[in-house]
A and B are shown apart, each in its own frame.
Chain A
Amino acid sequence: MSSFTVPTNLVASELTTTELNGKPPQASFQVKAGLAQMLKGGVIMDVVNVEQARIAEEAGAAAVMALERVPADIRRNGGVSRMSDPKMIKEIKAAVTIPVMAKARIGHFVEAQASILEALGVDYIDESEVLTPADEQHHINKHNFKIPFVCGARNLGEALRRISEGAAMIRTKGEAGTGNIVEAVRHMRTITSQIKRASAMNEDELFTYAKELGAPYDLLKRTAKLGRLPVVNFSAGGIATPADAAMMMQLGCDGVFVGSGIFKSGDPAKRAEAIVQAVTHYNDPEVLARVSEDLGEAMVGINIDSLPETELMAKRGW
């Protein structure tokens, strides 16, 4: 993993070229991670058809995630959840000008391959625990792809394992389809506090901590030095209100994914717009109060304690 390059200027005064023994940063990773840098401060919205994609674009989404069913419906309907129909993805690509992402099952490298998502001109692939995993031990080797990947993580070890497999962007998992922010908060706080601990450690301690976290040592060392994840990190899974989104931003994420929270609410267009405003003005209580007004009904939501262990999506990923 000595070839890993932190996206340039993601943080202040990060040494790059010279630190890597004079080797120039890898072109492909810079370009892959670069799109994630462009999405920062933005909202990526789950959409299941052209109409929703257009609502998302008009609301100011920085990208859309094209999928067959939003997580709340996946949860309700059960069964095996797979990659979306390429036809639907094509239609959404044609309907909007913002980047389009699509999900592949964990470990299902053929869903991600050139013949499918890459060839459709999808801009980012989400190797997602929201779909039914295809492999219970291995994730996709994302270095093999020209298209960038985003992956979910609950803790620092998981995030760094995904980055070492080639993910150019991370999102904290939360618990998708619940409309309940509690897991998103837990995962964001866990990662932040683990990074803080790592930053306070000397090298001897970092070796042990890497083993404890199951994280590649070099990436952990880099992360400890940066004081943040070495790629863009969004928050996901349970964001349903502008206040939820602003809270995740204040907790230190770079942007948010909103899945069921928008199109399972009473007035999707208005709520989507409000969440976009909340992510930009996350530190401005005046704006937050204004955009939170009169949004209609939020999605109902689920208490995560009431979900059986087997239905938790965040547990998928190894």
Chain B
Amino acid sequence: MVHTGDSQDNTQQVRVGVLALQGAFLEHVNILSRLPNVIAVLVRRKEHLSTIDALIIPGGESTTIALVAERSGLLNSLKDFVQTKPTWGTCAGLILLANEVHKTKKGGQKVLGGLDIAVNRNQFGSQIDSFEAPLNFANVTTSDTDLFPAVFIRAPIITSINSSDVKVLAKLEHNVGQTDASAVVAVQQGHLLGTAFHPELTDDDRIHRYFVQIVTQILNEKLKHAKT
């Protein structure tokens, strides 16, 4: 990515929050802390949201994260945040960013919404059906010898895409159990990114870098906007 703006843009620090209510939030923090110009911030209270440029919602149990967010008075602030600020959801995080969720617990579950998609929770079955699969990931992998090592743990999939603004970044590519190879497992809609798998469980930081790039671009555009 080449910056044409002033030199300040190149060294701009990005504050990425990681929602730290339940799940593998430290794994995201540990990857983010290896990236240049990124400060990782744990988010547990709504006040924390005003201090960050972007948010990652980690893997964990989506029902737990939603219930704890609600009881911690965080749900509405999170809903507002994801409307405009760059947010990436991995696994449970993807579920929380989806506008429509299937196979939820009895009585359904609350979500933040934002992505015009429908997801199936726990598509593949119980833990014994969790797996790893190398994937092509648009804008991140460049060839078949350079795939992204995706880890799927009781993972969801994206079952329908309900807006032309949603771009498919990755598909399953091979049939897994009853699930077809064409199943979508990563999408982007403007400032929102969703992956059904766990880049935070690998040493491959390319999707984290890609997300930071989205954040930086959006921040720069805002900066340009403010100047003109």
State the interface size on chain A (CB cutoff 8 A): 52
Report Cα–Cα, A172/B192, bound state, in Å.
39
Q: Return the CB mask of B10-37 against A: 1 if under 8 Å, else 0.
A: 0000000000111111111111011000
Confirm or deny: A61 has a beta carbon within 8 angstroms of a beta carbon on chain B: yes
**How far, in whole Å, are A122 and B34 apart by their CA atoms in the complex?**
36
* Selected interface stretch from B118-126, B164-172, B176-184, B214-222: B118-126
Q: Do the beta carbons of B201 and A40 come within 8 Å of each other?
A: no
For residue A56, give the distance in angstroms from its CB to the closest CB of chain B: 10
User: What 1/0 flags go to A42-61 for Cβ under 8 Å of B?
Assistant: 10000000000010011111
Q: Which of A96-112 contact B (CB under 8 A)?
A: 96-100
B26 near A123 (CB under 8 angstroms)?
no
Q: Which residues of chain B have C-beta atoms less than 8 A from A93's C-beta?
A: 126
Query: Which single member of A13, A38, A277 contacts B30 (CB below 8 Å)?
Result: A13
Inter-chain residue pair count (beta carbon < 8 A): 153
**Complex alpha-carbon distance, A123 and B127, angstroms:** 5
The stretch among B64-72, B75-83, B135-143 that forms the contact with chain A is B64-72
Selected contact of A99 from candidates B91, B106, B127, CB within 8 Å: B127
Query: Does A27 touch B at the CB level, under 8 Å?
Result: yes
Interface size on B, residues (CB 8 A): 49
The answer to whether A273 touches B201 (Cβ under 8 A) is no
Which residues of chain A come closer than 8 Å to B103, judged between CB atoms? 97
Contact A41 B44 (CB under 8 A): no
Give the residues in chain B near A31, CB-CB below 8 Å. 130-132, 151, 153
User: Which residue in chain A gives the minimum CB-CB distance to B153?
Assistant: A34
Complex contacts, A121 vs chain B, CB 8 Å: 125-126, 128
The reply on A11 being an interface residue by CB < 8 A is: yes
Q: Are B24 and A17 in contact (CB under 8 A)?
A: no
How long is the Cα–Cα vector from A63 to B63 in the complex, in angstroms?
10
Q: From DSSP, what is the main secondary structure of chain B's interface residues?
A: loop
Is there an interface contact between B127 and A41, defined as CB atoms closer than 8 Å? no
Known: A38-B153, A96-B105. A27 touches B22 (CB 8 A): no
B6 near A: Cβ within 8 Å? no
Does A281 lie at the interface of the complex (its beta carbon under 8 Å from any beta carbon of B)? yes
A42-B61, A99-B126, A147-B128 known; 20 new pairs, CB 8 Å cut-off, are: A8-B203, A9-B200, A11-B30, A13-B33, A13-B34, A27-B131, A38-B60, A39-B23, A41-B23, A41-B25, A60-B22, A60-B71, A97-B103, A98-B64, A121-B125, A123-B127, A273-B71, A280-B20, A280-B21, A281-B44
Q: List 22 A-B contacts (CB under 8 A).
A: A8-B203, A13-B33, A27-B131, A37-B201, A38-B153, A39-B61, A40-B22, A40-B23, A41-B23, A54-B106, A58-B105, A58-B107, A60-B63, A97-B122, A98-B63, A98-B64, A98-B105, A118-B128, A121-B126, A276-B67, A279-B22, A280-B68
The 4 closest A-B pairs by CB, nearest first: A9-B27, A123-B127, A60-B67, A121-B126
